[in-house]
Amino acid sequence: MSEQQQHLYLVDGSSYIFRAYHRLPPLTNPEGTPVGAVYGYTTMLWKLADDLDAADGPTHLAVILDKSSHSFRNDIYPEYKANRPDPPEDLRPQFPLIRDATRAFSLPCIEEEGLEADDLIASYARAAQRQGWHVTIVSSDKDLMQLIGEVGGARIDMLDTMKSARIYIPEVEEKFGVAPELVGDVLALMGDSVDNIPGIYGVGPKTASKLIAEHGSLTAALDSAPEMKKSKLKERLLEGRKDAEMSRVLVTLKEDCDLPQPLDEMRIEKIPEEPLADFLEQHGFTSLLRRLGSGNGSPERANNLHPAKADTQGDAGDVEGNRQPLPEMPAIDRGAYETVQTMDRLEDWVRRAVAARLVAVDTETSSLDSMQADLVGVSLAIGPNDACYIPFGHGGTDLLSEKPEQLDRSAALKTLQPMLADPSVTKVFQNGKYDLNVLARYDLQVSPIEDTMVISFDLDAGRGEGMGGGHGMDELSQRHLGHTALTFKEVCGTGKKQIPFGEVPLDRATEYAAEDADITLRLYHHMKSRLAIEGGTRVYERVDRPLIPVVAQMEREGIKVDRAQLARLSEEFAKEIGRLEGEIHNLAGQEFSVGSPKQLGEILFDKLGHKGGKKGKSGQYSTDQSVLERLAGDGAPIANKVLEWRQLSKLKSTYTDALQEAINPDTQRVHTSYSLVGAQTGRLSSTDPNLQNIPIRTALGRQIREAFVPENGNILLAADYSQIELRLAAHMADVDTLKDAFAKGEDIHSRTATEMFGEVTRDTRAQAKTINFAILYGISRWGLAGRLEVEPDEAQEMIDTYFKRFPGIQRYIAETLETVGERGYSETLFGRKTWFPRIKSKNQAERQGSERAAINAPIQGTSADIIKRAMVRMLPALKDAGLADVRMLLQVHDELVFEMPESDVSAASNVIERVMAEAALPAVKLDVPLAIDIGTGTSWDAAH
DNA sequence: CGGATCACG
DNA sequence: GACGTACGTGATCCGA
C-alpha cells in the first residue's frame, strides 16, 4: 500500500486528570504541593509523543476536554451528573494547566459548549473511521467502549495509558460479557451512581451483563420480563422500564456532533521543542526537561529550573526576577469587550460563566469605601478578551447627566446571584474583600472566591516597592502580563476634575471595567500555578484565602463608639492645648507654630540656647520625644509643656476628632478597612480609620478606649495572646530554659533576669525585658546601649551573656541569616515567605536593616499566621457551640475583640480561649503553650 | 509629597 | 573610612 495508514489518537483529557489526581502521589517538590495531576498528564502526552514514529503510532492527535457542565442530557434528565462532588481544592487549579500542557506539546485542544468530551470523541472517532483511519481513544471510560470495533477495515480501539493496556473487542467482552455494540444496553440497565444515571434499581453489572447476553438487547430483555418467573428481579424490570429506557438515551453517545476543527488539522509529525521546554521549565518538571533532547538544556535554562532559588542568584534587588515565561494568551483587546444591555445577553454571560466554572468578577462603584459604595456596574471575564461590563447605575448623579440604556439594577443582580453563590463556580477577584463587602450591601453572598492580590502577596511579599505593596492590579498587570492597564485616573480624571465612575460613558467604562476582569483572570492563571510550584499553596489555601470572607465580615460588623464621649474629650483637649500653647509662647518669648518641629528646634536650640541640639540629614534639629525628655531632665520647663501639647494634639487630631467623623451614618458604627497585604510579614494592617493603634499606654489615651462600647445589653470581650512572639522565639530557637519557663507559667522577663543577672529586681527585670525585645527585633550593641542608657561595651557584654545563657538564640539568628542569604526569603512555621531583596546589598546600613527584619519576620509572621488561623476557625466554632450571636469585631495583631449578649460571655470565653490556644494545630505542634488573657467589660478599656 | 513625630503590637 | 543603629504598621502636620 503506497498510502500510509492514518491513525488518530483522541485523548480524553478531563477523565484522565481525575484519575491521575487520585492515583499518583503528589509531585515531589519541597512543599509536597499538588502539581501531581498535571505532571501525570504531561508524562502521558510524552508517552504518546514517543510513539509518533512507531508502526502503529499516531499520525493525528487531539485532546478533547469537557467544557460545559450542561449538555442535552440535562434537558432529558435534569439530575444528570447532579451527584458529582466538586473537584478537590488542590485539583481545581490544575485544570487550566491541562490546557497549557496541551498547548506546550503544540497539540490541538478541543472543547465545545454544550457537548461532553465523550460525544466529541465519538463524533471524531466515527468521522475518522468513515475515512478509513484507525482510531485509538486514550481513556478508560467504560462509556466509550461502545465505540470499539471495526468498520470496513478501520479499527477503533482504546488505550489505558495508566495500565499500559490496549482495549479491543476481547477486553470489552471480558468486562461486560457482551460485544461492544451492546455495552450501551448493559450500562442502561446497571446505571451509574457517579453520573447519576438511574438504570434499574437492584441491577448491577453482573445481572445487567447476564440479561443482555441472554436476550441480545435491552428491549428484548425488558420485553421478556412479563414471562419471567415471579421474582424481585421481574418486579424491578417491570417497574424500572421507563428508567432503563431513559438511561439508554443518556448513555448513548452523540456521534454526529459538528466537528469544531477538521480532522486534517490534527496531523502531527514532530513536537516543537521550544514551547514544550518553556512549559516544563515553568513548572519545574526537571526530569522531563532533561530528557528533552539532552544537550538542549542551555546553562541559562538549567539555572532557572528552580525559580525561587534562581532569583537570589543574580541581583537580589531585581523585582523582575520572578517574571515567568508569558503564557500563550492573545494580547489584550479592549475592542473585544461587550457592554451588556439586555437581559438576554446577561443570561447568556451567566450561563457561560457557570459552564466555565471559573469567572473573574469586578465591581464598579461610587466610592472607595466599601461600606458606603453604591454599585454602578459589574464586569465579568471568562477567558482572554472574553469579558463584558454590565452597567446599571450610570448617569443621573446630577441633573445634567442622562441615563444611558442599561439594565435595571435589581433585575441584573437577581440574575447574577445564583452564579455568585454557586459552590461549583469559582469567582476570581483582585482584592475580593472589597467586592464582597459591596455585594453584601445588596444581600449578595459570594463563594467560593480566589483573590489575585492575596495570591501575589503569598508569592512575592517583600519583593515589590510600589503602591499596594506591589500587589495592586496595575502593577501586577505590568509585571506579569507586560500590559499597561487603563488606570482609574485616565478614565475618571483626577483632583477637582474627577468624575464618579457612574458618569463615565458606557463605551469607556466597558473598556476599563472589562479589562480589569480580563486582567484579573489572566493574572489568576499566571500566578496560581506558581503558588504550587513555589510552595505558597499551604499558606494561601489554609490561612489567607479562607480569611478573606472572615475579615470582610469583621469590617461589616464595625464597632460602636460613644460620639458624645469623644466630643467631650475633643473639647477638653482643645482647651488644654490652647492653655499650653500660651505657656509655651510665654516661655519661648514669642509666638510660633508649636506643631512645626522646624520652628520648635530653632526656638529651643538657637533662641533659648539649650545644648545638645542635633541636626539630622534634613538639616533640621531633632525635637522628638527622647530629645525633649532629656531637655526636661536638664531643667527646661518648656520641653515638658511641648511634650504635653504634642500628646494632646495627637490624641485630638488622630483620635477624638477623626473617630467621630469615621462613624458610618447608616450603621452608626466605625468600620475600619483591613489590608491583607499591607505588612510584609503577613500581619494585617488597618486603615480609614486605623483601629490597631488606639491608645492604651497612658491614662489620658485610655479615655479614648473607653469610648469603644458595645450595644446596650451587650458586652465587649478582648482576648489576647500573652507574649506570643517570645513563646515562638523559644520554640523556633529551641531554647530549653525559655520553654521551661513558659511551660511553668513563669514571668518570662523575671526568668530572663534571673538567668542573666542572678536576681530579679525592678531594674534587672526591666533590663531583661528590653533585651528580650531587642532579640526579637535583631539586636545591635549600639541599639541596645541607647535603649538601656549604657555604654555600647556594656551592652555588648549583656548580649554575650544572653547568648551564653540561651545558646539556641544565637544559632537561630545565624541559621536564619544563612538561609535568607541563600534563598532570598524567610519562612514562617506555616510556610509564609517574606522576601528580602536587599539582604546582599553592598550598602551596609541597607544590608543590616534587611538582616534585622529577616530575623524578626519568621517570628512576627508565625504569630500572624496563628491568629489568622484562629480567626478562620472562630465563628464556626462559636456557632457549633450554639453561640451564633457572638460577633468578632477587631483584630490588633495579638488580640481579638468580640461583642456578644451578656448571657453568652462565659460560654464564649471558653470557646475563644480554646480556638486561640489551639490555632497552630494540627499543622504545627509547638513546644510551648499558647496562653490567652481574656477580659470583658462595657468598654474596650474595661475589657483589658 | 517627603519628613518628622507618635499612636499601637 | 563612613555608614548609623530595634521589628512591623498608619495618621497627622508642616513646609517645600
CATH number at residue A634: 1.20.1060.10
What is the model's pLDDT at position A95?
A: 83
CA distance A568 to A703: 11
Nearest to A17 by CA among A70, A87, A73: A87
Instruction: Place A469 in a pLDDT band, splitting at 50, 70 and 90.
Output: low
Q: Across-strand partners of A362?
A: A379
Chain A residues 157 to 216 with C-beta below 7 Å from nucleic strand C: none
Q: Is the CB of A594 under 7 A from strand B?
A: no
> Phi and psi dihedrals of A124, rounded to 5?
-65, -40
What is the model's pLDDT at position A85?
A: 66
Q: Which of A158-162, A237-241, A901-905 has the highest mean pLDDT?
A: A901-905
Chain A residues 853 to 892 with C-beta below 7 Å from nucleic strand C: 853, 856-857, 860
Contact positions of strand C to protein Cβ (< 7 A): 2-15
Whether residue A311 is predicted with pLDDT greater than 60 in this model: the reply is no
Residues A594 and A459 in one domain: no
What is the model's pLDDT at position A561?
A: 97
Whether residue A297 is predicted with pLDDT greater than 60 in this model: the reply is no
Instruction: Place A476 in a pLDDT band, splitting at 50, 70 and 90.
Output: very high
Nearest to A105 by CA among A47, A144, A53: A47
Residues A467 and A592 in one domain: no
On whether residue A612 sits in a domain, the answer given is yes
Q: Which of A167-176, A203-212, A315-324, A827-836 has the highest mean pLDDT?
A: A827-836
CA distance A332 to A209: 55
What is the model's pLDDT at position A292?
A: 75
* Mean pLDDT on A196-222: 87
On whether residue A697 sits in a domain, the answer given is no
Instruction: Place A312 in a pLDDT band, splitting at 50, 70 and 90.
Output: very low
Residues A127 and A249 in one domain: yes
Residues A504 and A371 in one domain: yes
On whether residue A896 sits in a domain, the answer given is no
> In CATH, what number is assigned to the domain containing residue A766?
1.10.150.20
What is the model's pLDDT at position A34?
A: 63
Whether residue A830 is predicted with pLDDT greater than 60 in this model: the reply is yes
Residues A527 and A579 in one domain: no
On whether residue A179 sits in a domain, the answer given is yes
Burial string for A316-333 (b: 16+ CB within 10 Å, else e) reads beebebbebeebebeebe
CA distance A40 to A835: 32
pTM: 0.69
What is the model's pLDDT at position A298?
A: 32
Q: Three-state DSSP class for A344?
A: helix
Residues A507 and A618 in one domain: no
Residues A515 and A577 in one domain: no
A617 CA – C7 C1', rounded, Å: 23
Q: Which long-range contacts (CB under 8 A, 24 or more apart) does A737-744 make?
A: A737/A805, A737/A806, A738/A806, A738/A928, A739/A927, A739/A928, A742/A928, A742/A929, A742/A931, A743/A928, A743/A929
Whether residue A904 is predicted with pLDDT greater than 90 in this model: the reply is yes
What is the model's pLDDT at position A4?
A: 78
> In CATH, what number is assigned to the domain containing residue A28?
3.40.50.1010
Q: Which nucleotide has the shortest C1'-to-CA distance from A696?
A: B8
Residue with the three cell numbers 432529558: A76
On whether residue A668 sits in a domain, the answer given is no
What is the model's pLDDT at position A26?
A: 56
Whether residue A134 is predicted with pLDDT greater than 70 in this model: the reply is yes
Closest protein CA to C1' of nucleotide C13, residue: A595
CB neighbour list of residue A614: distance below 8 Å, 6 or more residues apart? A621, A622, A627
Q: How far is CA A196 from the centre of its chain?
A: 33
Q: List the single range of A87-101, A624-638, A805-819 with lowest mean pLDDT.
A: A87-101
* Mean pLDDT on A803-831: 95
Q: What is the dihedral of CA A618, A621, A623, A628, to 10 degrees?
A: 150
Q: Is the CB of A611 under 7 A from strand B?
A: no
On whether residue A377 sits in a domain, the answer given is yes
- pLDDT tens profile A654-709: 999 999 999 999 999 999 999 999 999 999 999 999 999 999 999 999 999 999 99
Please report how many Cα atoms fall inside a 13 Å half-sphere around the Cα of residue A912, on the Cβ side. Answer: 27
Q: Is the CB of A685 under 7 A from strand C?
A: yes
Residues A478 and A593 in one domain: no
What is the model's pLDDT at position A402?
A: 82
What is the model's pLDDT at position A822?
A: 92
* Mean pLDDT on A887-908: 98
Residue with the three cell numbers 492580590: A453
- pLDDT tens profile A165-178: 889 999 899 888 89
* Mean pLDDT on A466-475: 78
Q: Is the CB of A796 under 7 A from strand C?
A: no
Q: Which residue among A819, A843, A859 closes a domain? A: A859
Q: Which nucleotide has the shortest C1'-to-CA distance from A595?
A: C13
- pLDDT tens profile A845-854: 899 999 999 9
Mean pLDDT of chain A: 89
- Top pLDDT among A284 and A415 is at A415
> In CATH, what number is assigned to the domain containing residue A413?
3.30.420.10
Whether residue A75 is predicted with pLDDT greater than 60 in this model: the reply is yes
* Mean pLDDT on A263-273: 88
Contact by Cβ (8 Å): A610, A634: yes
Q: Which residue among A249, A265, A281 closes a domain? A: A265
Percent of chain A residues topping a pLDDT of 90: 65
Residues A56 and A152 in one domain: yes
Q: Is the CB of A272 under 7 A from strand C?
A: no
Cell numbers representing residue A693 in the block: 493603634
What is the model's pLDDT at position A700?
A: 95
Cell numbers representing residue A897 in the block: 475583640
Q: List the single range of A37-41, A315-319, A667-671, A750-754 with lowest mean pLDDT.
A: A315-319
On whether residue A871 sits in a domain, the answer given is no
Whether residue A234 is predicted with pLDDT greater than 90 in this model: the reply is no
Our count of domains for chain A comes to 4
Q: Is the CB of A693 under 7 A from strand B?
A: yes
Supply the range of the domain harboring residue A37.
Answer: 7-265
Residues A363 and A512 in one domain: yes
CB neighbour list of residue A303: distance below 8 Å, 6 or more residues apart? A310, A313
What is the model's pLDDT at position A555?
A: 97
Q: Which residue among A859, A891, A911 closes a domain? A: A859
Q: Which nucleotide has the shortest C1'-to-CA distance from A770?
A: C6
Whether residue A457 is predicted with pLDDT greater than 60 in this model: the reply is yes
Residues A97 and A239 in one domain: yes
A673 CA – C11 C1', rounded, Å: 14
How far is residue A146 from each of residues A141, A143, A178, A246, A732, measured CA to CA in Å? 10, 6, 10, 17, 60
Strand-pair category, A895-901 with A7-12: unpaired
Q: Is the CB of A678 under 7 A from strand C?
A: yes
On whether residue A81 sits in a domain, the answer given is yes
Contact positions of strand B to protein Cβ (< 7 A): 3-9
How many beta carbons lie within 10 A of that of residue A769, not counting itself? 17
What is the model's pLDDT at position A6?
A: 93
A617 CA – C3 C1', rounded, Å: 13
Rg of chain A over CA atoms, in angstroms? 34
Residues A135 and A207 in one domain: yes
